[in-house]
A = this chain, B = another copy of it.
Amino acid sequence: MSIRIEDLSVDRVRTLIRKGEWTGPTVELARGFAQAGLAIVPERYALSFFTFCQRNPKPCSVLDVTEIGDPTPKLLAPRADVRTDLPKYRVFSHGKLVAEPTDIRSYWRDDSVAFLLGCSLTFETTLVTAGVPIRHLEEGKEPPIYVTNVPCTRAGPFGGPLVVSMRPIPHDMATKAVQITSRYPYTHGAPVHIGDPALIGIRDLGRPDFGQAVAVRPTDVPMFWACTVTPQAVAVEAKLELLITHAPNHMFITDRRHEDFTVA
């Protein structure tokens, strides 16, 4: 009898990732547990980046911040290490992608500060449980992601447009989808826009900037949620000498259940 990785505990999965034995996407792993995006910046930029996140809480929900030089995410997983416990990373130097390693111990510095950011997996899980269909999951695709014409509130060197993910929701479930995601303000919360994509500067839903297009049916309403790509994009654009992020879909698995992030 074989054991599937999907059925392993958080600790077992994290050990496999740490050893480099799992370098794939995390979406199917440790079901029930929240996952988080990652952005590591040098300490001299940390206060500004933190402020950017505070000013733009829908795309940039900070779930944990590490102490300067300490790779332990104390709130989300006190036995974890952000340098080894994600399956794949992206390393940027002055805004250019320079490496996609599976371990960043050689890039970590005494002045590194890691931000762990809320991810839409948490509310998608709850939507599916409530019977709200998620088309990209049904179609086996990555969610379609779009750059809008809505500016984020700038902080220091960090600024740029809001980036959103889109989910076509059956019109008779749109209210329910707002209600459910409103309960998760720390993982993007309620939609930032409902309806006509042109009103937020999106010309063609069929041509997303990232991810893959999904079918929007005549009885669907396009609903847009703020996306964790936003803080990553503004951090890349700020051209810091060193920036480390998670690779897309290769997230940090936390010790916290999705329900830990509800407010009501």
Q: Which residues of A contact B (CB under 8 A)?
A: 43, 46-47, 50-51, 54-55, 62, 64-65, 67-68, 74-75, 113, 153, 155-156, 179, 182-183, 185, 189-190, 263-264
A178 to chain B: closest residue by CB: B264
Minimum distance in angstroms from A154 CB to a CB of chain B? 9
Instruction: Name the one of B43, B50, B155 contacting A67, with C-beta atoms under 8 angstroms.
Output: B155
Q: Are B43 and A47 in contact (CB under 8 A)?
A: yes
Known A-B contacts A46-B47, A47-B68, A74-B55; A190 and B264 likewise in contact (beta carbons under 8 Å): yes
Q: Are B51 and A67 in contact (CB under 8 A)?
A: yes
Q: Are A263 and B190 in contact (CB under 8 A)?
A: yes
- How far, in angstroms, from A51 to B23 measured CA to CA in the complex? 30
A189 to chain B: closest residue by CB: B263
Known A-B contacts A65-B54, A67-B156, A74-B153; A264 and B183 likewise in contact (beta carbons under 8 Å): yes
- How far, in angstroms, from A50 to B192 measured CA to CA in the complex? 26
Neighbouring B residues of A51 by C-beta, 8 Å: 50, 65, 67
Sampled A-B contacts (19; CB under 8 Å): A46-B47, A50-B51, A50-B65, A51-B65, A54-B62, A54-B64, A55-B65, A67-B155, A67-B156, A74-B153, A75-B153, A179-B264, A182-B264, A183-B263, A183-B264, A185-B185, A189-B263, A190-B263, A263-B264
- How far, in angstroms, from A190 to B65 measured CA to CA in the complex? 23
Known A-B contacts A47-B43, A113-B47; A185 and B263 likewise in contact (beta carbons under 8 Å): yes
A179 to chain B: closest residue by CB: B264
- How far, in angstroms, from A140 to B46 measured CA to CA in the complex? 44
- How far, in angstroms, from A263 to B153 measured CA to CA in the complex? 19
Neighbouring B residues of A46 by C-beta, 8 Å: 47
Minimum distance in angstroms from A260 CB to a CB of chain B? 12
Neighbouring B residues of A55 by C-beta, 8 Å: 65, 74-75
Neighbouring B residues of A62 by C-beta, 8 Å: 54
Neighbouring B residues of A153 by C-beta, 8 Å: 74-75
- How far, in angstroms, from A50 to B47 measured CA to CA in the complex? 8
Minimum distance in angstroms from A38 CB to a CB of chain B? 16
- How far, in angstroms, from A264 to B191 measured CA to CA in the complex? 11
